[in-house]
Structure 1
Amino acid sequence: MASTVTIDFNTGIDEWRSDVADYGDKDRPTEVASGWRDLPAPLSGKGYYLAAHNNSDDVLTYVTRQLHGFVKNAQYNVSFELRYATDAGTGCAGVGGSRGDSVYMVAAANYFNINTVQQPDLRYRVNLDRGNQGTSGTQGKVLGTQGVAGLGCAGGTWASTTRKSSEPIVVRADKDGNFWIMLGADSGFEGTNAVYLQGATVNITPY
């Protein structure tokens, strides 16, 4: 049976956990911050704030939680529509790329707990094949770039927008009928990026 999970960060962030990934010991991101915060004017309500300064030419900021209530060991197609607030315009310049065009909004789904883990090459990455920046993987998909056309390159003017999956992720529920999802922003911009996740619609259908 198909189902839809509606996530609204205006009402809280209970059961969610935030983290960062895609870095090494010598280029860990700085200015890392996350939490439930008021949206900046002219927007109203609250969102899940994520921020980090990219020191490695590649940093992922993300939130994750477990979803419950599915058929044990069954496979599902999972697709996402993510709503977020940004002050990044498009077509702007930036070191390593611009905030609007080189920060990618991403989503993922996986059988087991999504965590940042040190890999054999000593880099810290999430423990699933999510792809990287503008390239999707088997368990993670790029929803689009962060920027909103019409916003200025200097930032400071905030707008709410959405990005959605172009193809589903196939995920298997565990023995208890659960699986994990991830929402985030993968930055190639070599500076500080901040985004407010406002919510998401997760569409789940039997595989």
Structure 2
Amino acid sequence: MSHGLRRIGWSALAASAAMALVAGCGGSDGGGDGSRSIALDFTAEDAPDARGWEAGFADYAAEQDAIMEFESGHEPLPGALAGEGHGLLVGATNRSDDVFMYWTGPVQNLAPETSYSVRFTVEFATDSPAGCAGIGGPPGEAVRVKSGITTVRPEAELVGGDWRMNIDKGNQSTGGTDAILIGNVANDESGCSAGERVWALKTLQSDGAFVLNTDADGTAWLTVGTDSGFEGRTELYYTRIEAVLEPR
């Protein structure tokens, strides 16, 4: 776990049991037409939906591990949102000029060998301002949010001295086959100076349909993350994620 991977769970047994539990949490249900709606809520202190989820980081050199200042966990919301619940915290200081930081968790009991169209809704807390200058790019608009769902468990792999994702999430402002661009982290309530930062919730929805082709056992991994061109620190708290899957 030298590259920042962190799993939420209280023990190895609880973590393995979570693989089966997550699919039934957060109002996941099926429609008569074979559709599935998966609604995950991470705001409770002991949120069952958070069990089995993993945070990770990619797109940086292995030699930069000590200076990226990675942070992750299921933590209370900060600032003006204090007292309003918890979220899946992920943070990094973008020394690589390209860091990807993400959370991913398992979804089970999908129809096997089925093609789904998937729409995503992601809610998160951010204090990154809109319309401000930043090194490498603005702190809000240059930190792009991506979401996807894959049969492959997403993780960072060491490739030629760099940590790279084993899925195609695209790069920066471009999405990939395994994750699509759904927006950015800019928060209209924050000002450009550090003293003017305000934590607020933001919700993004995917515009186009994402395609998932399930395998024989009907298990997939739901992922949300950010691809950053801003050469500074970004912290986010994911509070709710919804995926609506409809057979094609």
TM-score between the two structures when normalised by the length of structure 1: 0.94
CA distance in 2, matches of 1:81, 1:193: 21
Gaps spanning 5+ residues in structure 2: where?
Answer: 1-33
Q: Counterpart in 1 of 2:107?
A: 67
The structure with more strand, counted as a fraction of residues: 1
CA distance in 1, matches of 2:64, 2:229: 14
| Matched residue SS, 1:131 | coil
Give RMSD over aligned pairs. Answer: 1.4
| Matched residue SS, 1:31 | coil
Q: Which amino acid aligns with 1:159?
A: A
Tell me, yes or no, if structure 1 residue 110 matches structure 2 residue 143: no
Alignment of 1:137-148 (within 5 A): 137-148=176-187
Q: Give the superposition deviation at 1:174.
A: 2.1
* Identical counterparts, % of pairs: 32
| Matched residue SS, 1:15 | coil
Tell me, yes or no, if structure 1 residue 124 matches structure 2 residue 157: no
CA distance in 2, matches of 1:54, 1:62: 14
Q: Work out which of the two has the higher radius of gyration on C-alpha atoms and give 1 or 2.
A: 2
The structure with more helix, counted as a fraction of residues: 2
CA distance in 1, matches of 2:170, 2:58: 13
Alignment of 1:83-98 (within 5 A): 83-98=123-138
Matched-pair contact (CA < 8 Å) for 1:95–1:191: yes
Matched-pair contact (CA < 8 Å) for 1:105–1:145: yes
Q: Give the superposition deviation at 1:65.
A: 1.1
TM-score between the two structures when normalised by the length of structure 2: 0.79
Task: List structure 1 runs of 4+ shifted beyond 4 angstroms.
Answer: none
**1:72-105 CA deviation, whole Å, 9 max, x = no partner?**
1111112211000111111101111121111011
Tell me, yes or no, if structure 1 residue 169 matches structure 2 residue 210: yes
- Higher RCO, 1 vs 2 (CA within 8 Å, ≥6 residues apart): 1
Q: Which amino acid aligns with 1:2?
A: S
The partner residue of 2:79 within 14, 27, 41 is 41
Q: Which amino acid aligns with 2:41?
A: D
The partner residue of 2:55 within 18, 38, 56 is 18
Q: Which amino acid aligns with 2:151?
A: Y
The count of aligned residue pairs is: 206
CA distance in 1, matches of 2:109, 2:68: 37
**1:148-170 CA deviation, whole Å, 9 max, x = no partner?**
22321124311101111111221
Tell me, yes or no, if structure 1 residue 4 matches structure 2 residue 37: yes
Q: Counterpart in 2 of 1:179?
A: 220
Q: Which amino acid aligns with 2:158?
A: Q
Matched-pair contact (CA < 8 Å) for 1:65–1:180: yes
Gaps spanning 5+ residues in structure 1: where?
Answer: none
